[in-house]
């Protein structure tokens, strides 16, 4: 167990023992192997979950697989596999990416699991009063599992009897949820985009399909549930209670914002719940000018990335290389630079230098009064409350830079008594190690072990007294 966990787990729980903060990733389509875009979402959620735990918040994190639907069925059959056999194979690969990236979710939810199917059916019964029979005629995109207004390269003309959900009934209530802050959407541009879609008028949503690979709704043996209803109800089955859990933070890519910001709260209201959650909509990793995706044929596998660098380097890169909301091209030279200059040359070098100096000269216990280091706990806590992994990584790197500069400027190797200088830098380094655990857990475990002999808690440490336990949407 690492230094930081030893410190935090023994502290009193500021949530009073009964409140969990729920952080989710989307559940992934197992139409193909995981790529960097998926790994990014998983890591960002894990960093936020770990940051919360670092501040004493009890966090529940869910991820998993969205295993039904036409897209997955097609992919399975094209590989000569039965759908269930196929999803079992790909689910193992996603789970392995999680563990290789040091992500240990509380739940890895699969929509083919009996528990989820039961929950989805129960949810269906809850929204039943808002459904009516009709006929859908229009384009359907299996690639996006979405009903679309215009023909695209992958769309199919669909004409079938189905059940509709009265989404149009919820327009005003959806806008009100945003206005009152019960549903929070970040960044602000994403919120405006959703407000504009709603104001332009919502059409009722077709919620059943004639396809075979899915959950059969009650009394509709020839139909399956529209895969997004099935998928969104994972936030019930994967929650800490196995049912609706208010106050969740849903981390999603911008391509699936509409489903989370419009369909999900409307469905929850239809089921009799009062929605309250936060959506963090992140940008994309691009390759060759396009969103990295299986259908673009431009994917990079997380395994390749981790093999070439390390889990810590990949995690660090995801947080540090772009702001959450922006798009960025995967840039191997930037990964190389970040990994060599910042992680090895910055963090690694500082830790190594300090260990050598302390071993050679010893050290005096001196408080590190460098402003950047002093501000580190507050910056990390702000990054947690703002769900901002970039801010977090930046605060850590700035502290490392400040400490490296401090050593270079004070040259302990030349000083008549180097021990106070070493002690001051060591105090700052302990603080960095304590705070970096949510970002680079493997390295921190090693550094914590190394620091064990120098004992002592850093002066600028996480303060439990002032950390806010639970972030509710009604704050």
Contacting residue, 27, 261, 314, 444, with ligand MSP by CB under 6 A: 27
Regarding 323 and contact with ligand MSP (CB under 6 A), the answer is: no
CB 453 → ligand MSP: shortest distance, Å?
A: 42
Q: Which stretch binds ligand MSP (CB under 6 A): 38-46, 342-350, 357-365, 375-383?
A: 38-46
* Cβ within 8 Å of residue 29, ≥6 positions away: 65, 66, 69, 71, 72, 145
List binders of ligand MSP among 57-86 (CB under 6 A). Answer: 66
459 by Cβ neighbours in 10 Å (0-12 / 13-18 / 19+) ranks as middle
Binding of residue 40 to ligand MSP (CB under 6 A): yes
User: 4, 22, 37, 302: which one contacts ligand MSP (CB under 6 A)?
Assistant: 37
Decide whether 275 or 428 has the Cβ nearer to ligand MSP: 275
- The reply on whether position 284 binds ligand MSP by CB under 6 A is yes
Is there a contact between 292 and 283 (Cβ–Cβ < 8 Å)? no
Binding of ligand MSP by 231 (CB under 6 A): yes
- How many CB atoms are closer than 10 A to CB 417? 10
Containing 361, the helix (H) or strand (E) segment is: helix 349-361
Q: Between 38 and 353, whose beta carbon lies closer to ligand MSP?
A: 38
Q: Which of 22, 29, 226, 317 binds ligand MSP (CB under 6 A)?
A: 29
Determine the Cα–Cα distance for residues 277 and 247; give it in Å rounded to an integer.
5
Q: Could you say which of 4, 14, 26, 311 contacts ligand MSP (CB under 6 A)?
A: 26
Percentages of the chain per state (helix, strand, coil), in multiples of 5 = 50, 15, 35
Contacts of 233 (CB under 8 A, 6+ apart): 116, 119, 120, 123
Which letter does DSSP use for residue 260 in this model?
I
- Residue of 47, 252, 380, 432 interacting with ligand MSP (CB under 6 A): 252
CB of 23 to ligand MSP, least distance (A): 14
Mention every residue, 6+ apart, whose C-beta is less than 8 A from residue 392: 47, 51, 319, 379, 380, 383, 384, 438, 439
467: tokens are 């950390």
We find the least distance from the C-beta atom of residue 26 to ligand MSP, in angstroms, to be 3
Number of residues that bind ligand MSP (CB under 6 A): 21
Shorter beta-carbon distance to ligand MSP: residue 284 or 316: 284
Closest CB to ligand MSP among residues 255, 331: 255
Distance CA 374, CA 88 (A): 49
What are the phi and psi torsion angles at 232 (to 5°)? -65, -30
- Contact range with ligand MSP by CB under 6 A, out of 197-205, 291-299, 369-377, 410-418: 291-299
Residue 293 lies near ligand MSP (rule: CB under 6 A): yes
Residues lying near ligand MSP in the complex (CB under 6 A) are found at 26-29, 37-38, 40-41, 66, 231-232, 234, 252-253, 255-256, 284-285, 291-293
């Amino acid at each position: 167990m690492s230094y930081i966990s030893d410190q935090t787990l023994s502290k009193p729980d500021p949530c009073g023992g009964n409140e969990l903060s729920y952080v989710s990733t989307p559940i992934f389509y197992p139409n193909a192997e995981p790529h960097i875009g998926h790994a990014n979402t998983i890591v960002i959620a894990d960093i936020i979950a770990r940051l919360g735990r670092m501040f004493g918040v009890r966090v529940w994190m869910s991820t998993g697989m969205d295993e039904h639907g036409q897209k997955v069925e097609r992919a399975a059959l094209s590989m000569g596999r039965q759908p269930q056999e196929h999803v079992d194979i790909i689910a193992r690969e996603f789970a392995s990416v999680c563990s290789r990236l040091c992500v240990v979710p509380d739940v890895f939810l699969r929509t083919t699991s009996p528990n989820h199917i039961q929950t989805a059916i129960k949810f269906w019964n809850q929204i039943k009063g808002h459904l009516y029979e009709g006929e859908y005629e229009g384009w359907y995109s299996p690639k996006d599992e979405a009903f679309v207004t215009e023909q695209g390269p992958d769309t199919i003309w669909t004409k079938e009897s189905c059940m509709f959900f009265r989404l149009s009934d919820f327009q005003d209530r959806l806008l009100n949820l945003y206005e009152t802050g019960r549903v929070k959407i970040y960044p602000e541009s994403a919120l405006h985009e959703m407000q504009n879609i709603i104001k332009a008028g919502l059409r009722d949503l077709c919620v059943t399909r004639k396809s075979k690979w899915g959950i059969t709704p009650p009394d509709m043996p020839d139909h399956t549930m529209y895969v997004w209803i099935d998928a969104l109800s994972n936030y019930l089955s994967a929650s800490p209670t196995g049912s609706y859990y208010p106050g969740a933070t849903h981390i999603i890519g911008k391509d699936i914002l509409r489903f989370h910001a419009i369909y999900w709260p409307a469905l929850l209201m239809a089921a009799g719940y009062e929605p309250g959650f936060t959506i963090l909509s992140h940008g994309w990793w691009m390759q060759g000018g396009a969103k990295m995706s299986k259908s673009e044929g431009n994917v990079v596998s997380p395994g390749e990335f981790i093999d070439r660098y390390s889990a810590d380097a990949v995690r660090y890169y995801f947080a540090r290389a772009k702001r959450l909301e922006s798009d960025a091209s995967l840039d191997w030279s930037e990964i190389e630079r970040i990994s060599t200059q910042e992680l090895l040359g910055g963090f690694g070098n500082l830790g190594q230098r300090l260990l050598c100096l302390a071993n050679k000269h010893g050290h005096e216990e001196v408080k590190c009064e460098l402003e950047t280091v002093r501000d580190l706990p507050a910056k990390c806590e702000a990054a947690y409350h703002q769900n901002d992994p970039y801010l977090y990584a930046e605060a850590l790197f700035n502290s490392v830079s400040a400490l490296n500069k401090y050593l270079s400027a004070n040259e302990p190797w030349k000083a008549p008594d180097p021990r106070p200088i070493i002690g001051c830098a060591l105090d700052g380094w302990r603080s960095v190690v304590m705070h970096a655990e949510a970002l680079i857990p493997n390295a921190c475990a090693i550094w914590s072990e190394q620091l064990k002999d120098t004992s002592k808690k850093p002066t600028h440490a996480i303060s439990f007294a002032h950390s806010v336990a639970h972030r509710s949407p009604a704050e």
